Amino acid sequence: MRVISGDCKGRRLKAVPGNNTRPTTDKVKESMFNIIGPYFDGGWALDLFAGSGGLGIEALSRGIEKAIFLDTDHKAMATVRENVTSLGLTSRAEIYKNDARRALDQLAGRGLQFDLVFLDPPYKQVQLYEELITKMQALQLLNDRAYIIAEHHADVELPDAYGRAIRWRLAEYGEIAISFYEIVTETETKE
Q: pLDDT per residue over 66-108, tens digit each? A: 999 999 999 999 999 999 999 999 999 999 999 999 999 999 9
On whether residue 18 sits in a domain, the answer given is: no
Q: For the chain, give the mean pLDDT.
A: 94
Which strand (E) or helix (H) includes residue 186? Answer: helix 186-190
Helix intervals (H) in 87-126: 100-109
Closest to 71 in 3D by CA, of 37, 39, 98? 98
Q: At what angle do helices 54-61 and 26-36 cross, to 10 degrees?
A: 50
Neighbours of 185 (CB within 10 A): 11
Q: At what angle do helices 100-109 and 127-138 cross, to 10 degrees?
A: 10
At residue 173, the 3 state secondary structure works out as: strand
Whether pLDDT at 191 is above 80? no
- Give the mean pLDDT of 158-167: 96
On whether residue 9 sits in a domain, the answer given is: no
pLDDT at 29: 93
On whether residue 129 sits in a domain, the answer given is: yes
Q: Which structural domain range is residue 129 located in?
A: 26-190
Contacts of residue 170, defined as CB under 8 A and 6 or more positions apart, other chains included, come to 177, 178, 179, 180
Whether pLDDT at 19 is above 80? no
pLDDT at 165: 97
Residues 27-74 pLDDT 10s:
999 999 999 989 999 999 999 999 999 999 999 999 999 999 999 999
- How does residue 190 score in pLDDT terms, banded at 50, 70 and 90? low
Distances in Å between the Cα of 163 and the Cα atoms of 52, 68, 135, 186 are 30, 24, 10, 10
**How many distinct structural domains can be found in the chain?**
1
Q: Residue 106 maps to which CATH number?
A: 3.40.50.150
The predicted model scores a pTM of 0.94
On whether residue 100 sits in a domain, the answer given is: yes
Residues 117-138 pLDDT 10s:
999 998 888 999 999 999 999 9
On whether residue 19 sits in a domain, the answer given is: no
On whether residue 119 sits in a domain, the answer given is: yes
